[in-house]
Structure 1
């Protein structure tokens, strides 16, 4: 039996664990002294052991796995500051290669420009600013007021669009959704467009159901408005999720620069671009679509450089990892990966449909590789209960959430067929969902406070 006065040695700690096994970890006060590197590593690692398993997080669109070679590139370039183009010109060149490749993927008609961003959120902020600056320039040239800019988009957008409007003083004209109608089209947009509209934002692959707005129809509406009313209203496509899906699963579907009014596109490299967070891209149809006043020429460390960004210092790793993926996979590789994900999503949809419990949302439409579903009939439990049961008993993170207005009475679940989700995982998930429903049917729904510990929304 160990004596109460026993004092462990450093050798004991190395063998049996660090001092935080029995002591509280620092949480509020800045530590007076440091600890050995191994102890710090154990402390952080043991804390993270309580997290959920990313492989079973079917809520997030963000990449949770990359090849070992890509991870090596990331690890060996974390210290390289991306914004220092004078010191790291090859990294800057690789960024431009990615921009040119994306412009080609999105069918840009000629020479164009763009920017690497921290994610689609920054890309949307920058794209929205360019819409506003160009609108203001057009209004000033016509001798008209620039005091009341507005932006038109649907309730199916990411919250960052509302943030843009609030941060940069633009009136949001939000088209509400309706039960059974979770995207928008030209008839929804038309009443909101006027001479103060800086642009219309359409979504390619919503976070709610994975579908796209009627981008072709909205483009045709804006062309008609241009010809009939003389208003040149640009269309921005928020392709945060869909920009790396539609070119490979639906290559003949027109949503990009093949449509005349599409002037800018954002896409998240850290979603279906298959790169760890955070990396996003903003691509313009042509150079004139980037407002010149937003580009800063600066003399830094002996070199004049042009910057179009809200952020400055950040690691180079994710830009390099994006280029790695482009040359590693190419069109054929991305197509193969997306088709595998789509196949597993369809299998899961078929299994859920066969249970007779669920309504599958828009399964025959162009869609991200996911399954959006809801309970088909009234039961003594709801979608939030299913999500709670799956998380508590099986560790699956399958979100349940209500839709935006005016469809807020509709509750949906969504399971993303991730790259690492195998057919065996799909079969297991389907069985676990069926068993969760069977358990809930017997005991009833979970207590509200218990559900709220698990459910956080549709995920990003």
Structure 2
């Protein structure tokens, strides 16, 4: 009997008497239940996505969304001839988003779904480069931006565009309109304005940026378009800050990218690129492909990808509507404001973004305001011990000596959870004040994070030191002042 595998416990099977395959392709097979348990068991070491306040991405989907994803797992969204209704649903989403963003004619507005806002941003950048070239542009093209998500660095490097990133100065956290004149010239293909900066969560002044470019055109003749990176704010501002003008209401805005899988509430793997009109999307970027018996237009960087994400995006649009999105996002802003007020009450913190819907996304960002024997990286590590994943990182060029923290409030994060986080933060602060961290972590040890200057006074490992590598496992990490996101997607957009 004991030799019969039918009577063996799953965890007594001989395949578990050796390390899991890692460096070489396995020679033999194993039962699917056993393979599942190996993978499942390893993934228990990941952080809990619901308490990951570093990511902007959706971490909670309902049962209906899961069913739609599963039912459409095998549909390739690019096979429009084979899956015409999936193509129709994608088309509906494009026009709904165009309407949301005040496109002149939503029914004819060009756009596409993407794997995330990073792909969408790159498509927007390519369109701007092609328009510049069609106008007779020569030399090295450039784009002007403030603190941006790493996807823009990738776009600039991969497509031979100079990224003119305006450094921060004074008390500024983002790109200001009065910075533009000295950075723009005849080779500027566009200015990127950000609705929901990854570092602080703040909105940039898109209307002010457009007005400054209007003045620049009046004085120099340079007609420079604006692309709005609305990875996080594109599905917030229309509902909770409708009077803030940032979209196609501004004639200079030619294209917008956004993450459906962030505040759009779709599952991971959903982004959107929308152009103002057909004139803003050069025809050379669109490919007519004969595929599986039909002809289809495509202008994505990716080809084969699942259709479930766009399908669930449509489900969320029709399930919630404007009223539902407004109600949900407004609730999240109230939670963010409650968290921000609680942090201020703890003392020693200054808020950068307090969760005001007119100023930024559903997030809170803050910095220390008084000298301490610890810093925000230490606090981040202590909070991780309780399961909270909250990013701490230096600001971009111009203010890299300053460190801040940011917590993103998403669907599923309630006021009760905010109170739990505040209580854990208070306990962490008490512990750090009573038992200062003995060992400073180096930049290399924390995968690119930088501690503020503090001498290493002991070689004895501490709790914080034992957790140092865990910091770099956050979905959003910051290297050299630029945030990298797993879904990048951007933050990020991903």
Against the structure 1 CA distance between its residues 355 and 86, is the aligned structure 2 distance closer, same or farther, given a 3 Å change threshold? same
Matched pairs, number: 448
On the 8 A contact 1:62/1:270 being kept in 2, the answer is yes
Report what 1:115 is aligned to: 112
Measure the CA separation in 2 of the matches of 1:401 and 1:93.
42
- Where do 5+ consecutive residues of structure 1 fail to align? 1-5, 140-144
Measure the CA separation in 2 of the matches of 1:186 and 1:35.
61
On the 8 A contact 2:353/2:366 being kept in 1, the answer is no
Report what 2:359 is aligned to: 366
Against the structure 1 CA distance between its residues 17 and 76, is the aligned structure 2 distance closer, same or farther, given a 3 Å change threshold? farther
Measure the CA separation in 1 of the matches of 2:55 and 2:85.
32
| Per-residue deviation, 1:19 | 4.1
| Per-residue deviation, 1:148 | 1.8
Report what 1:60 is aligned to: 55
Report what 2:402 is aligned to: 410
SS of structure 2 residue aligned to 1:190: coil
SS of structure 2 residue aligned to 1:115: strand
**Structure 1 residues 17-65: Cα deviation after superposition (integer angstroms, max 9, x where no partner):** 5445543211122111111111111111111111111111010011011
Structure 1 residue corresponding to 2:471, chosen from 441, 455, 460: 455
1:304 aligns to 2:295 (yes or no): yes
1:170 aligns to 2:186 (yes or no): no
**Structure 1 residues 134-158: Cα deviation after superposition (integer angstroms, max 9, x where no partner):** 011012xxxxx5122111111x210
1:391 aligns to 2:384 (yes or no): yes
| Per-residue deviation, 1:452 | 3.4
| Per-residue deviation, 1:203 | 0.3
Measure the CA separation in 1 of the matches of 2:111 and 2:400.
36
1:87 aligns to 2:92 (yes or no): no
Range moving further from structure 2, 311-320 or 177-186? 177-186
1:153 aligns to 2:121 (yes or no): no
Q: After the TM superposition, which residues 8-407 of structure 1 pair with which residues of structure 2 at under 5 Å, given as runs?
A: 9-14=4-9, 18-19=13-14, 21-110=16-105, 111-139=108-136, 146-154=138-146, 156-178=147-169, 180-363=171-354, 366-392=359-385, 394-407=386-399
On the 8 A contact 1:153/1:200 being kept in 2, the answer is yes
SS of structure 2 residue aligned to 1:306: strand
**Structure 1 residues 357-411: Cα deviation after superposition (integer angstroms, max 9, x where no partner):** 211113256111111011110100000000011112x011011100111110110
Against the structure 1 CA distance between its residues 436 and 230, is the aligned structure 2 distance closer, same or farther, given a 3 Å change threshold? same
| Per-residue deviation, 1:162 | 1.3
Measure the CA separation in 2 of the matches of 1:63 and 1:338.
13
SS of structure 1 residue aligned to 2:75: coil
On the 8 A contact 1:185/1:214 being kept in 2, the answer is yes
On the 8 A contact 2:353/2:364 being kept in 1, the answer is no
SS of structure 2 residue aligned to 1:386: helix
SS of structure 2 residue aligned to 1:66: coil
Judging by fraction of residues, say which structure has more helix.
1
SS of structure 2 residue aligned to 1:372: strand
Range moving further from structure 2, 70-79 or 217-226? 217-226
| Per-residue deviation, 1:186 | 1.2
TM-score, length-normalised on structure 2?
0.88
| Per-residue deviation, 1:16 | 5.2
Measure the CA separation in 2 of the matches of 1:415 and 1:452.
19
On the 8 A contact 2:237/2:244 being kept in 1, the answer is yes
Measure the CA separation in 2 of the matches of 1:35 and 1:230.
69
**Structure 1 residues 187-232: Cα deviation after superposition (integer angstroms, max 9, x where no partner):** 1112111111111000000111110111111101122223333222
- Where do 5+ consecutive residues of structure 2 fail to align? 446-464, 478-482, 486-491
Query: RMSD of aligned C-alpha atoms?
Result: 1.6
Report what 2:434 is aligned to: 442
**Structure 1 residues 143-183: Cα deviation after superposition (integer angstroms, max 9, x where no partner):** xx5122111111x2101111111111111111011353111
TM-score, length-normalised on structure 1?
0.94
On the 8 A contact 1:20/1:43 being kept in 2, the answer is no
SS of structure 2 residue aligned to 1:25: coil
